[in-house]
Structure formats: C-alpha cells, structure tokens
C-alpha cells in the first residue's frame, strides 16, 4: 500500500526574510520547495501539500487598504485569493519536475467553532514587520491588534481558531487516489462556521494545525512540517541549547509542558505533531527543506527532528 505524507510549507518559506514578495521571489522559493517535495515522491510517498499565507494575506490586506476605489474584502476571501496565488506557483513548480497535470490545487474550506477562544485573543501574525512606533500608529488608525514577533519587529495579529473539519475531504481523497499531488487547505483553509459552512469567518487558520487535521482525516502515515531550522532546539538561545534528533511523542509532550516551545514559533508545530501521532499517525518530521527527504527516510546525524508515536501518549495541548 502506498504511504501518504502531508507536507506543511510556511508562507514564510515562499516569502523569505528580507524579501518583499515579488512574483520572481515567489517562483524561485516555490521551485526550491518543489525540489524537496519531489524527493519525498521519489522515495515512494503520495503527497498532499498544505501551505501557509501569513506574509501574503497580510500584504494583500495592505494593498486593499491603500485605495478607496476598490472595496476591501474580508480575511476569508483574502485567504481564498492566496490559495489561488500560492497554489498556482507551487503547482507550476511541481509540474516542471514531474510533468503537466501532476499537481492539483483544491480550493478548500475548513470549519471552525465561532465560539473558539482565539477570537477573543488574536495571535496569528500576518503581513510585514514594522517598528514599534509604526505598528502602534497603524493599530490606532486601522483598528489592528499588533504584537512583537520573534524579536524581528511588530506585526498585525488576527484570530486563529482551531480547524475542526474539512469541507472538501471527499474531493481531496478522490484526487489523491487518482494519482495527483494535491495542494489543499492553502493558508490553513478558508474558515467557515461549523454547522453553517456557507458563512465565512474573519480569521486565518494556522497551517500546521490544518496540515495535522488533513493528515488525520486521510489516515496519513507521516506529517512533515517544513521550517527554517534543521532541528527543533531545547533551551533556545542559552548556553544549554541542544538539538533534538529522533524522540518519542511522550518526550515531545514533556518538553512542551516544560515551556521549551513558544506559541509564536515552534509551539504550533509540536502541538500539530502530537495531535497527529495521538490519532494514529506514525511519524512527524520538523526540519528544513534540504533535509526533508533524508529525515523522513532514516533520521540520524545530519538530518532533522523525527517525532515517533509512543506506546502511551501524554495528555496533549489543544
């Protein structure tokens, strides 16, 4: 039986630090991501890609606010736009390597609970970085919530509720079974209200959580979370800093409970991995694009972090 891997690519992987998000930059970054994913396919895996959209959806919102001649659109529709934008560049890059029509981009909606606490506590960074004074000026002028992000400046933050379901899961399974690499739940998916999927919700869903949900619904064997670092680090930024190779889910849960993985950086990736493994997944990988296939295949020196399912799984964060 062919194994299935769900690969989560961050929006920051498609618009890198110091870049403005030009078309040429997006295409070049997508080509690098496609090469890494192609290595996974060559190793015999069926692949679904879930991508983020934090920089892109924030930039699109800024574009809309720069003019009064065109009516602004809500975040849910901006996510739909970035699904098409980023899905297109990723699909073209995959097809250049594997032939036309290999990749299929599926416009995807995810259900969320309108009562999710995330709506009262916005936390998802979108758009570019600003200095503290400029960020506060924009917050005052536009009604934004802004927060410091990873020591690199301040960004707008929006609600990021947990995804509870995937509206197009049947179509996703059909495309995967037909032999396509499927790009789905782009930008975490277009959020709609659970119980009323015709009602869009003003939020941006975390792509790692969405990828974990997709992997669970598909019964995938592996969840691959692509990031800027080769390995997950303990005691980050201290003299005790160390990198994690192969660990169990119980190890990861214990480190998470000890505060090693901040909510604004590695926390969502570890939480997504634990949820996937608790539901029956076999392996979660957190690593850089260059080490993706090697880490999936074997782990060990010179590869990324592998989190393997434990016989007994500790209590998991949401």
- Reported as a single tens digit per residue, the pLDDT across 92-143 is 999 999 999 999 999 999 999 999 999 999 888 888 888 999 989 988 888 8
Domain match, 24 and 102 both: yes
Q: Looking at residues 15-22, what average pLDDT do you find?
A: 84
- Reported as a single tens digit per residue, the pLDDT across 259-273 is 898 876 789 999 999
Q: Looking at residues 274-296, what average pLDDT do you find?
A: 96
Domain match, 142 and 175 both: no
112 and 191 in contact (C-beta within 8 Å)? yes
CA distance 15 to 135: 20
* Strands 222-226, 233-234: pairing kind: unpaired
Examine residue 313 and state whether it is found in any structural domain, yes or no. Answer: no
Domain match, 94 and 68 both: yes
C-alpha to C-alpha distances, 25 to 4, 13, 28, 59, nearest whole angstrom? 29, 10, 5, 14
Instruction: Compute the Cα dihedral for 67, 125, 110, 225 and give only its sign.
Output: positive
Predicted confidence band at 1 (pLDDT cuts at 50, 70, 90)? low
Domain span holding position 289: 3-115+164-308
CA distance 154 to 148: 4
- Residue 128 burial by Cβ neighbours in a 10 Å radius (0-12, 13-18, 19+): middle
Domain match, 83 and 37 both: yes
- Reported as a single tens digit per residue, the pLDDT across 301-315 is 889 999 999 754 444
Examine residue 10 and state whether it is found in any structural domain, yes or no. Answer: yes
CA 242 to chain centre: 24
Domain match, 210 and 289 both: yes
Q: Which is the catalytic residue, given 53, 87, 269, 304?
A: 269
CA distance 46 to 220: 9
Is 124 catalytic? The answer is yes
The two structure tokens encoding residue 75: 């975040």
Is 101 catalytic? The answer is no
Considering the entire predicted model, what is its pTM?
0.91
Q: Please identify, among 107, 133, 158, the residue that sits at the C-terminal boundary of a domain.
A: 158
Examine residue 270 and state whether it is found in any structural domain, yes or no. Answer: yes
| Cβ neighbours, 10 Å, residue 148 | 14
64 and 126 in contact (C-beta within 8 Å)? no
Examine residue 315 and state whether it is found in any structural domain, yes or no. Answer: no
Instruction: Count how many domains the chain has.
Output: 2
Q: Which is the catalytic residue, given 11, 52, 87, 304?
A: 11
Is 84 catalytic? The answer is no
- pLDDT over threshold 80, residue 67: no
- Reported as a single tens digit per residue, the pLDDT across 208-240 is 999 999 999 999 999 999 998 899 999 887 888
Alpha helix segments (H runs only) across 11-110? 11-14, 23-42, 54-65, 75-98
Examine residue 316 and state whether it is found in any structural domain, yes or no. Answer: no
Q: Looking at residues 16-25, what average pLDDT do you find?
A: 87
CA distance 205 to 126: 11
The CATH number of whichever domain residue 54 belongs to comes to 3.40.1160.10
Q: Which is the catalytic residue, given 52, 53, 59, 124?
A: 124
Is 269 catalytic? The answer is yes
Examine residue 143 and state whether it is found in any structural domain, yes or no. Answer: yes
* Mean per-residue pLDDT of the chain: 91
Cα of first residue to Cα of last residue in the chain, in angstroms, is 32
Q: State which H helix or E strand residue 295 sits in.
A: helix 292-297
C-alpha to C-alpha distances, 240 to 233, 235, 260, nearest whole angstrom? 10, 6, 12
Is 11 catalytic? The answer is yes
Examine residue 151 and state whether it is found in any structural domain, yes or no. Answer: yes
Domain match, 194 and 289 both: yes
């Amino acid at each position: 039986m062919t194994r299935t891997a769900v690969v989560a690519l961050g929006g920051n992987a498609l618009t890198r630090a110091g870049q403005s998000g030009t078309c040429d930059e997006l295409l070049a970054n997508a080509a690098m991501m496609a090469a890494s994913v192609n290595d996974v396919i060559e190793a015999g895996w069926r692949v679904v890609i879930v991508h983020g959209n934090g920089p892109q959806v924030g930039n699109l919102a800024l574009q809309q606010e720069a003019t009064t001649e065109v009516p602004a659109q809500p975040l849910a529709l901006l996510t739909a736009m970035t699904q098409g934008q980023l899905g297109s560049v990723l699909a073209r890059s995959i097809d250049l390597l594997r032939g036309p029509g290999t990749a299929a981009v599926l416009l995807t909606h995810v259900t969320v609970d309108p009562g999710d606490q995330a709506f009262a506590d916005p936390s998802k960074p979108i758009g570019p970085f600003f200095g503290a004074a400029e960020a506060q000026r924009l917050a005052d002028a536009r009604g934004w919530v802004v927060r410091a992000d990873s020591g690199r400046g301040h960004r707008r933050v929006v609600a990021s509720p947990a995804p509870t379901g995937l509206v197009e899961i049947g179509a996703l399974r059909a495309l995967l079974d037909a032999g396509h690499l499927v790009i789905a739940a782009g930008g975490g998916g277009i959020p709609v209200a659970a119980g009323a999927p015709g009602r869009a919700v003003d939020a941006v869903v975390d792509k790692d959580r969405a990828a974990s949900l997709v992997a669970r619904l598909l019964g995938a064997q592996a969840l691959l979370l692509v990031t800027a670092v080769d390995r997950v680090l303990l005691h980050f930024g201290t003299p005790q800093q160390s990198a994690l190779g192969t660990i169990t889910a119980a190890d990861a849960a214990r480190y998470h409970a000890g505060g090693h993985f901040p909510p604004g950086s590695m926390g969502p990736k570890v939480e997504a991995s634990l949820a996937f493994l608790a539901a029956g997944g076999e392996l979660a990988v957190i690593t850089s694009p260059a080490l993706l296939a090697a880490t999936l295949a074997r782990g060990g020196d010179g590869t990324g972090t592998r989190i393997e399912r434990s016989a007994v799984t500790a209590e998991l964060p949401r």
